[in-house]
Chains A and B, each alone.
Chain A
Amino acid sequence: MATASARSSQPRFIRYGESALIIELDSLEAVHRAYAALTRAGVPGVVDLVPAARTLLVKMAPGEVDEAAVRHAVAAAPLGGAAKMTGELVEIPVVYDGQDLDDVAKLTGSSVDEVVSRHSEPEYLAAFCGFVPGFAYLTGLDERLHVPRLSSPRVRVPAGSVAIADHYTAVYPTSSPGGWRLIGRTSLQLFDVERGEPALLAPTTRVRFRPVRP
């Protein structure tokens, strides 16, 4: 099989109902590049774009579906480029006293201090948002912290909870049900409709977590 550097496979365009396309791409990088390209291109009729792990959803106004224009804009984008697509850096202060912190330490065979330092050391990248407004899936989690979700999700997770599951970490913007493991909390408002930019974390935002005392 060809290595990723030798060849970037062509994006696949999949019809998704009467007014949408799903573009399947090779990597999160390629998703972000296609997302940037379509945002810049301003193709008439494109009303929303949803980047996700390996796909970009393109929603179009009914009757204004121009698949050729979308393909053209994506074809012109440097999907296999070397430089990372990144945005602003946001620092999130975290009190590391989450309900699942001890369990995570046990599951990963480490001390609580080690969990905290492994979580707060890297710079993360917001890959995409979903689940609830402002919930960004952050990539870059230390492999030693990869733990499965809870087998039974909580009915209610407090707003501002910092959590990990699989290979992602995230902050819950509002109180909601949740199946991720809670390791800390922040007082920052992740989503505020009154702000010009309502979401603190959007696709390509870079994130650091800073441990603080309660």
Chain B
Amino acid sequence: MIEVISTGPLTLVEDLGRVGHAALGVPPSGAADRGSFRLANRLVGNRERAAGFEVTLGGFTARFDAPVTVAVTGAACDPRVDGVSVGMNGPVTVRRGATLRLHTPPRGLRSYVALRGGLDVRPVLGSRSTDVLSGLGPAPVAAGDKFLLADEAVHPVLVDLAPVPPVPRSSTLEVMPVLDGQRWFRDDDLHAMPAGDYVVGSDSNRVALRLGGRQIRSERRGEVPPSGLVPGAIQIPPNGQPVVFLADHPITGGYPVIGVLGTASQDTAAQLRPGDTLRLRFAS
């Protein structure tokens, strides 16, 4: 059993999300940086879909009543067991009675804690993920919460360390253009987008990054008939400031989508903090 002692600004239970219910308006949710999340599970020998903790800006502390193999990935947060640094991106066995603590990462936003077996949390619509937009799934983790482990360990712990590059200071996100969505906008604005820095707004969260920067101006009134969205979709609302949807995006949106981030860039986007800058590079 694991007892949570502190959660930092936000700790959530996440897995790989809800699949198959989108037509009912159910967002996919799941870990925002899926690459880091899946790595954490592989490192401890879990199925990739096992539930773990998504820790935003560190501060997570938990006490372990039994030995458990864990791994921490994503934003580098100096994980320590009873005060001793254990490092990122590698399996660590936490002894009975020991405390794991994640510190505030100097760069990046979200760190993932996978525990061998996965968190045993009651699934909702096939997933253990917390969806902050719809409210489906478990409540955000709170101090005092206790967790048992499930049975999602499927292979031995095989790897000592995964080589993961550090999060860069400024990111270029790769975008697959959606030409259909782009037809509403002025060519010179779209061509200028890759050269311009955008800043991540403070109102960004698991639903979307709200970017500030060069305005993308529409040739016509902003709305289009509602249409399905995916994580990584870049939407241009009437104010011309791009919105980059993440895991907890609403199922449909009523403004044009000009592109969708590539898979790796979606993971990068999930690590951007308010105030970080980024560029958008459109694939041809």
Contacts and interface: CB of A to CB of B under 8 A. Distances in A.
Interface string B1-39: 000000000000000000111111111100000000000
Interface stretch (B65-73, B74-82, B113-121, B255-263): B255-263
Interface of A: 12, 14-20, 22, 24, 35, 47-57, 59, 62, 128-137, 174, 191, 193, 198-199, 202-203
Contacts of B22: 48-50, 57, 59
Interface in B136-152: 136
Nearest to A54: B225
Contacts of A16: 178, 230, 233, 257, 260
Contacts of B179: 14
Q: Is the interface of B mostly helix, strand, loop or mixed?
A: loop
Nearest to A202: B24
Contacts of A19: 230, 263
A48 to B, nearest CB: 4
Contact of B20 (A18, A47, A191): A47
Contact of B252 (A49, A62, A128): A128
B263 A137 contact: no
Contact of A199 (B24, B257, B260, B262): B24
25 contacts: A16-B260, A17-B230, A17-B260, A17-B262, A18-B262, A20-B230, A22-B180, A24-B180, A35-B23, A48-B20, A48-B22, A52-B227, A54-B225, A56-B228, A57-B228, A128-B226, A130-B25, A131-B251, A132-B25, A132-B133, A137-B226, A198-B21, A199-B24, A202-B23, A203-B23
A131 B25 contact: yes
Contacts of A48: 19-23, 28
Contacts, number: 118
Nearest to A173: B25
B162 interface: no
B136 A133 contact: yes
B227 to A, nearest CB: 5
B19 A47 contact: yes
Contact of A50 (B19, B135, B176, B228): B228
B25 A199 contact: yes
B227 A57 contact: yes
B47 to A, nearest CB: 15
Interface of B: 19-28, 124-125, 133-136, 176, 178-180, 225-230, 232-233, 250-252, 257, 260-263
A57 B225 contact: no
A52 B228 contact: yes
Nearest to B125: A193
A51 B225 CA distance: 12
A132 B207 CA distance: 13
Contacts of A47: 19-20
B23 A49 contact: yes
